[in-house]
Amino acid sequence: MIINLKMKDNKEEKPYFSVVVPVYNEEGNLKELDNEIKEVMDELGKAYEIIYINDGSRDNSLNELKKLKDVKIIELNRNYGQATALDCGFKSAKGEIVISMDSDLQNDPKDIPRLLKKLKDENLDVVAGWRRKRKDKAGIKILTKTGKFLRRVLIKDVVHDTGCTLRVYKREAVKSLDLQGEMHRYILALLNWKGFKIGELETNHRPRVHGETKYGYSKAVRGFIDLLYIWFIQKYSQRPLHVFGYLSVFSFIIGTLTGLWSLYDRIFNGLSLNRNGWFFLSIFLGLASILFFSFGIIIDLLIKIHLNTSHYEQRYHIRTIIDTNRSRSDLDED
């Protein structure tokens, strides 16, 4: 699992790089990808580890992973999605620099040294790949451009390519993340919100040769829902009562005006209140005002409880962890 190690006091040296690769139904790509990653990482001359997260693959991916040498395989007990797989890999990574990439061979490992150089030269916390010349189908490109427009409008995201998994991170950046849903597409927005310095670099994007793309319309919809969540967290996580307070005050003002109008109709036009739609609208808005304010208080309390609670139910479960760098006798002793 840990390559190019020097021995110190009879103990393995801690890896400087951790390469994290989520895998879902990519049996035809894994051997070639592993060879490419190791070829590039060997040239860097520092200790590294490669972590493959098998995200409930239904094909022969797990068996192909077991054939690889000097890697760590984390097998999740079902398919949770790329965000969860990355989260699992990030939490397992031991390196000072964490490198993430897809397992479909569309990311080019030869871009890693360039990303690392930019990270060091510009003293950044994250450098993201930018697939300027994408090799995807037209439908995927349309979804990507639509998502990019919505991200710019809602969360002021100016990074060109938030969907490229090929990135290099400092350890502090990835350890601050807690991913789920489709939130792997908003990692950069989350890190920017946390104050980490982010850069991007144009990278090579290769056409898919084996397997099928995992991105489709259903993921785009879930991604939009997560985008709304990110927008709310960035804007109101420290003051959720404000957004509901605005709604409460707005409802109260409109409700008061419609109530006064219904009274005007009653006094000067003789229109009975039980036949006046404005009167019922004012009651509805008055109740909505109370509910909005109550929701704000409840959500504010829930966020404070969450932030002050260190124990939470694990969102995913690991079936096995396989270290192909260890001998069979070592595994038997465990």
Question: What digits encode the pLDDT tens for the residues 77-90?
Answer: 999 989 899 999 99
Report how far residue 194's alpha carbon sits from residue 208's, in angstroms, rounded to the nearest whole number: 34
Name the pLDDT band for 127 (thresholds 50, 70, 90).
very high
- Among left, alpha and beta (phi > 0; psi -120 to 50; other), residue 156 is left
Question: What digits encode the pLDDT tens for the residues 51-80?
Answer: 999 999 999 999 999 999 999 999 999 999
pLDDT over 70 percentage in the chain: 78
Asked if residue 45 lies in contact with residue 75, where contact means CB atoms within 8 angstroms, the answer is no
Q: Which of 267, 180, 168 is nearest to 230 (CA)?
A: 180
Position 242 scores a pLDDT of 76
Q: Is the pLDDT of residue 328 over 60?
A: no
Which residues contact residue 18 at a Cβ distance below 8 angstroms, ignoring those fewer than 6 apart?
A: 48, 49, 51, 93, 94, 95, 97, 98, 99
Question: What digits encode the pLDDT tens for the residues 22-51?
Answer: 999 999 899 999 999 999 999 999 999 999
Name the pLDDT band for 172 (thresholds 50, 70, 90).
very high
Parse the chain into domains and list their residue ranges. Answer: 2-237, 240-307
> What average pLDDT does this structure show over 255-266?
90
For residue 282, CA distances in Å to 245, 248, 274 come to: 18, 13, 12
Name the pLDDT band for 329 (thresholds 50, 70, 90).
very low
Q: Which of 91, 87, 89, 14 is nearest to 52 (CA)?
A: 89
Higher pLDDT, 169 or 222: 169
Q: Is the pLDDT of residue 9 over 50?
A: no
pTM over 0.85: no
> What average pLDDT does this structure show over 105-116?
95
Asked if residue 103 lies in contact with residue 22, where contact means CB atoms within 8 angstroms, the answer is yes
Position 208 scores a pLDDT of 78
Position 7 scores a pLDDT of 37
Position 211 scores a pLDDT of 60
Asked if residue 73 lies in contact with residue 60, where contact means CB atoms within 8 angstroms, the answer is no
- Which CATH number among 3.20.20.140, 3.40.50.2000, 3.90.550.10, 3.30.200.20 corresponds to the domain 2-237? 3.90.550.10
Reading the block at residue 175, the tokens are: 């350890």
